[in-house]
């Protein structure tokens, strides 16, 4: 099926985003935050295999968009496996369906196309710098698009990546973060490509995006979207508790919050990141700070305003029309 996009549909008064996702529980909340933000226009969603196989990731994206007011947003299916190795999902974290087994409605439609890679290139070419790209899954789709157009990322205004763990603490092995670990060859290509790139790693989620029991109860009390956000993270919470966190963490939503509002970033540096390709360091993203090293290839976020992130999360999950906290 050829890619189908509708050029010129982005609202020029709002920032335009393309979101590349392997939709499971935290991805779904990130999508919700973008769709519900009154200053954001989601131009398209492209889907990659990762947390779950591609068909489930597409299904979860469509169900989420249906629930949060994004039923008309294009959803394009992409690569169903990494560039150079088999797919290893994260269903051990997110559950078999990727959504914690929560009862969810059937999707309203199927994917708009099965050529996410072509769609990324087509949208980037519409108007250079008009759209920002947010990646919240393995980087396979983006790397595949770079093979056809090595300057692809320069055509986006900015590229925000939920990827890596530059403090050296992993969630798959000792040092590897899942989105990079799942397709380290793709991550290597994306990090090396020219363009304005910001990485928000798992270290940010562990420190600034954990919801404890009281916060989860408050979120669920906001209404259907808040309950959805909590319910789909049931399996994630158990995994997080087993790994020493005080609740479930939200790596993709905090990355989306940075993309939506850079003012929440309180510390960042430009780094030359090196990606580990093989075990035991597969998926690592270590800054190379040696004298005479390669030039920095990416901006790395080291800290965000936790209260500002959580305010934005709660705003997106309120039940009024514009995602604003009542009385704010």
The CA angle 77-51-281, to the nearest 5 degrees, is: 120
Tell the burial category of 32 from Cβ atoms under 10 Å away from its Cβ (0-12, 13-18, 19+). buried
As given in the structure block, the two tokens for residue 141 are: 């789709």
CB burial class (10 A; 0-12, 13-18, 19+) of residue 170? buried
SS3 content of the chain, % helix, strand, coil (to 5): 40, 15, 45
> Is the CA virtual torsion 310, 27, 169, 153 positive or negative?
negative
- The pairing of beta strand 15-21 with beta strand 40-47: parallel
Task: Please answer whether residues 285 and 321 qualify as being in contact, where contact means their C-beta atoms are separated by less than 8 angstroms.
Answer: no
pLDDT value, residue 245: 83
pLDDT score, position 326: 37
pLDDT of residue 238: 80
Tell me whether strands 298-304 and 265-271 are parallel, antiparallel or unpaired.
Answer: antiparallel
State the Cα–Cα distance between residues 324 and 313, nearest whole angstrom: 10
pLDDT in tens, the chain (328 residues): 344 444 445 567 789 999 999 999 999 999 999 999 999 999 999 999 999 999 999 999 999 999 999 999 999 999 999 999 999 999 988 999 999 999 999 999 999 999 999 999 999 998 889 999 999 999 999 999 999 999 999 999 999 999 999 999 999 999 999 999 999 999 999 999 999 999 999 999 999 999 999 999 999 999 999 999 999 998 888 888 877 888 899 999 999 999 999 999 999 999 999 999 999 999 999 999 987 777 899 999 999 999 999 999 999 999 765 444 333 3
Going by C-beta distance under 8 Å and a sequence separation of 6 or more, which residues neighbour residue 29?
A: 229, 232, 250, 252, 253, 313, 316
Q: What distance in Å separates the CA atoms of residue 139 and residue 162, rounded to the nearest whole number?
A: 10
Q: What is the DSSP string of 184-229?
A: HHHHHHHHHSSS-EEEE-HHHHHHH-EE-HHHHHHHHTT-HHHHHH
Q: Which pLDDT belongs to residue 320? A: 63
Crossing angle, helix 306-317 and helix 213-220, to 10 degrees?
30
Locus of tokens 């995994």 = 239
Which overall architecture, per CATH, does domain 15-317 show? Alpha-Beta Complex (3.90)
* Res 325: pLDDT: 36
pLDDT at 7: 40
pLDDT computed for residue 10 by the predictor: 54
């Amino acid at each position: 099926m050829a890619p189908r996009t509708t050029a010129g549909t982005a609202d020029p008064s709002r920032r335009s985003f393309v979101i590349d996702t392997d939709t499971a529980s935290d991805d779904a909340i990130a999508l919700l935050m973008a769709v519900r933000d009154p200053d954001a226009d989601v131009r398209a969603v492209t889907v990659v295999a990762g947390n779950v196989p591609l068909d489930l990731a597409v299904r979860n994206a469509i169900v989420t968009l249906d629930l949060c007011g994004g039923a008309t947003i294009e959803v394009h299916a992409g690569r169903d496996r990494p560039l150079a190795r088999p797919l290893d999902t994260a269903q051990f974290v997110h559950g078999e369906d990727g959504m914690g087994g929560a009862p969810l409605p059937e999707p309203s439609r199927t994917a708009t196309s099965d050529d996410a890679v072509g769609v990324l290139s087509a949208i980037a070419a519409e108007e250079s710098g008009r759209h920002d790209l947010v990646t919240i899954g393995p980087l396979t789709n983006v790397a595949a698009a770079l093979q056809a157009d090595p300057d692809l990322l320069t055509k986006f205004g900015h590229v925000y990546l939920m990827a890596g763990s530059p403090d050296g603490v992993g969630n798959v092995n000792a040092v590897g973060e899942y989105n990079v670990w799942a397709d380290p060859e793709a991550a290597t290509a994306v990090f090396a490509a020219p363009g304005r790139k910001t990485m928000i790693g798992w270290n940010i989620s562990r420190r600034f995006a954990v919801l404890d029991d009281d916060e989860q109860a408050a979120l669920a009390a906001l209404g259907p979207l808040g309950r959805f956000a909590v319910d789909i993270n049931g399996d994630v919470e158990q995994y997080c508790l087993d790994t020493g966190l005080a609740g479930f963490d939200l790596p993709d939503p905090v990355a989306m919050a940075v993309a939506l509002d850079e003012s929440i970033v309180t510390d960042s540096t430009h780094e030359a990141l090196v990606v580990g390709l093989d075990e035991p360091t597969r998926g690592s993203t270590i800054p190379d700070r040696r004298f005479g090293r390669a030039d920095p290839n990416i901006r790395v976020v080291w800290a965000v305003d936790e209260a500002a992130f959580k305010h934005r999360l709660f705003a997106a999950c309120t039940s009024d029309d514009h995602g604003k906290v009542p009385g704010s």
